[in-house]
């Protein structure tokens, strides 16, 4: 439990949370282990859990069987990073698959447990949600920058061909 609390203290999602409150959070988090090359969840699966990589590595992919490629890499998740956030927010089907790339351990925060925790500790839940919003904003900014860079590369290639 001590190791988990130290890990949570270093996580962006739980920054600025008092250690006593981190103990309460640790008590509602499940930990699941995955061998290498195992689906944590699949594209189009139902689910509302938020995941934090505790140990190992996870790749986020789109299994685009309708394309020429079998799958498209979206992101590699490092320890401390969150994933599965879309379904945690909206309860809709997963938009991508999460697959372990090595033996991994994942922290799982269910929406139901978080909602109950939020009723008991609203100020702590608000801090977590503010951290969550900051993390999502950074992901969107990074995606936007990648899109801009790809667009500029395509424009340069188009000019060279003319």
The predicted pLDDT at position 30 comes to 97
For residue 140, the domain's CATH number is 2.60.120.10
Provide Rg for the chain, Cα atoms.
Answer: 18
The predicted pLDDT at position 1 comes to 83
Looking at the structure of the chain, the number of domains it has is 1
The predicted pLDDT at position 155 comes to 65
The predicted pLDDT at position 50 comes to 96
How far is 109 from 97, CA to CA, in rounded Å? 18
The predicted pLDDT at position 29 comes to 96
Residue range(s) defining the domain that contains residue 106: 2-161
Q: What is the mean pLDDT of each run of 10 residues along the chain (162 residues)?
A: 92 94 96 97 93 97 70 90 93 93 97 96 96 92 78 64 59
DSSP result, 50-117: EEEEEES-EEEEE--TTSSSS-EEEEEEPTT-EE-HHHHHH----SSEEEESSSEEEEEEEHHHHHHH
The predicted pLDDT at position 26 comes to 96
Task: Give the predicted TM-score (pTM) of the model.
Answer: 0.84
How far is 121 from 127, CA to CA, in rounded Å? 10
Burial of 106 (0-12, 13-18, 19+ CB in 10 A): buried
The predicted pLDDT at position 6 comes to 93
The predicted pLDDT at position 143 comes to 78
């Amino acid at each position: 439990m001590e190791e988990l609390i130290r890990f949570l203290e270093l996580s962006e999602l739980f920054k600025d949370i008092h250690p006593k409150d981190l103990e309460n959070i640790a008590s509602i988090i499940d930990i699941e282990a995955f061998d290498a090359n195992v689906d944590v969840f699949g594209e189009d699966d139902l689910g509302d859990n938020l995941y934090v990589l505790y140990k190992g590595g996870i790749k986020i992919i789109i299994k685009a069987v309708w394309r020429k490629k079998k799958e498209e890499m979206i992101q590699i998740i490092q320890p401390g990073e969150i994933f599965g956030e879309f379904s945690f927010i909206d309860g809709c089907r997963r938009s991508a698959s999460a697959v372990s790339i090595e033996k991994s351990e994942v922290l799982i925060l269910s929406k139901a447990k978080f909602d109950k925790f939020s009723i008991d500790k609203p100020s702590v839940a608000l801090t977590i949600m503010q951290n969550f919003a900051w993390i999502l904003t950074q992901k969107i900014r990074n995606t936007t920058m990648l899109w801009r860079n790809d667009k500029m590369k395509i424009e340069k290639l188009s000019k060279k061909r003319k």
